[in-house]
Amino acid sequence: MTDTTFPTVRLNPKGDARAIRHGFPWVYANEVVMDRRTKGIKAGTIALLEDADRRPLGMVAVNPQSKIICRMLDRDEDAVIDQAWFAAKITRALAHRDRMFDQPFYRLVHAEADGLPGVVIDRFGDTAVVQPNAAYADVNIEALVAALIEVTGVSTVVMNGTGRARTLEGLDERTDVMVGTAPTSAIPVQMNGTTYMADVIGGQKTGLFFDQRPNHAFAASLSKGARVLDVFSHVGGFGLAALAAGAGSVLAVDGSQPALDLAEQGAAAMGVSDKFAVRKGDAFDTLTKLAEEGEVFDVVICDPPAFAPSKKTAEAGLRAYERVARLAAPLVADGGYLGLCSCSHAADLTKFRNASSRGIGRAGRRGQIIYTGFAGPDHPLMPHLAETGYLKSVFFRL
């Protein structure tokens, strides 16, 4: 080390140094020597990580308040974590997105998979929304934002400091406009031939879910001339994509009126308001009522929130996914399609698919799986970290 001012964190004999050397990005609190000095390190501090034999493993961000006490930042023990370092990471991430997308609407940084642990950046043209979900990113937010502007040229940067991940890090919740002026209206986003309206200040997460892009496109391919039901629709993700592909009609169901208002704005921008209807209400209750009303659709898609965000909630979450399938299946016409999605990393593909199949069976229907989808390529999967592969989308023909 050329700079000896960094504190040192050392793995105990239980710590898996080999996993770190092979690319695993996290060190858990029970894997390090938790002496008084380590416990006293301020959350977000950059430190040198050593194995149990005091051999350097690289530079890490430390947070003694989190179960993930260290996040690997750089295997180079001489790395300096500054604006230039952030800019190099963002430049590499941007090169990947520029190759794939001809318009600047995408997830620019997908946390660990893009080499910026705990950092999510979604881009909406000249506006970027940053989620600093790790303490070091919170501490270094000015350098991160400056690097983001330097590399991308965006004029507005919003910091969305909300959500479960920040709570686990011991961070407070807040939303700030770091640079530029807060948008006074929703931002139109072009994707899959569709116009979505993103509320980057008051909307869910960063305002739009870019991860479903390829699954929206597949659902759209089934939808020409079809009657489509989009449940847990948010701002109309699947439904508006279906209309862009020539769906005959779409009914969007969500519990959030603001989200449905944005969906209607998107339909208006596309000139398809006459084919688009919304229904506010609890999804489970609405599915039940639609069945009682004798409604039938050619394509039904259900994209609920994470019912199983942790291992503790996995079983209850899988029962909820089974219930969604059971209530949705009767609404699908014979020979029609049912798309079911999960963004719960604690419910892996096999468990989610099995729960969905049970629900379909309990509804007295049979189905064949015709498509299995995941997050788009702007949400890369880190092979060492299953959590980065959270999204699953399974389509059945009933």
Taking Cα atoms as reference points, which of 341, 398, 376, 392 lies closest to residue 96?
376
Q: Give catalytic status of residue 70 as yes or no.
A: no
Read off the amino acid at residue 23. Answer: G
Rounded distance, CA 72 to CA 117, Å? Answer: 8
How many residues does the structure list for the chain?
398
Cβ of 251: how many Cβ atoms within 10 Å? 20
Q: Are 11 and 33 in contact (CB under 8 A)?
A: yes
Rg over alpha carbons for the chain, rounded to the nearest Å, is 23
Catalytic residue among 70, 302, 341, 343: 343
Q: Which residues are annotated as catalytic?
A: 343
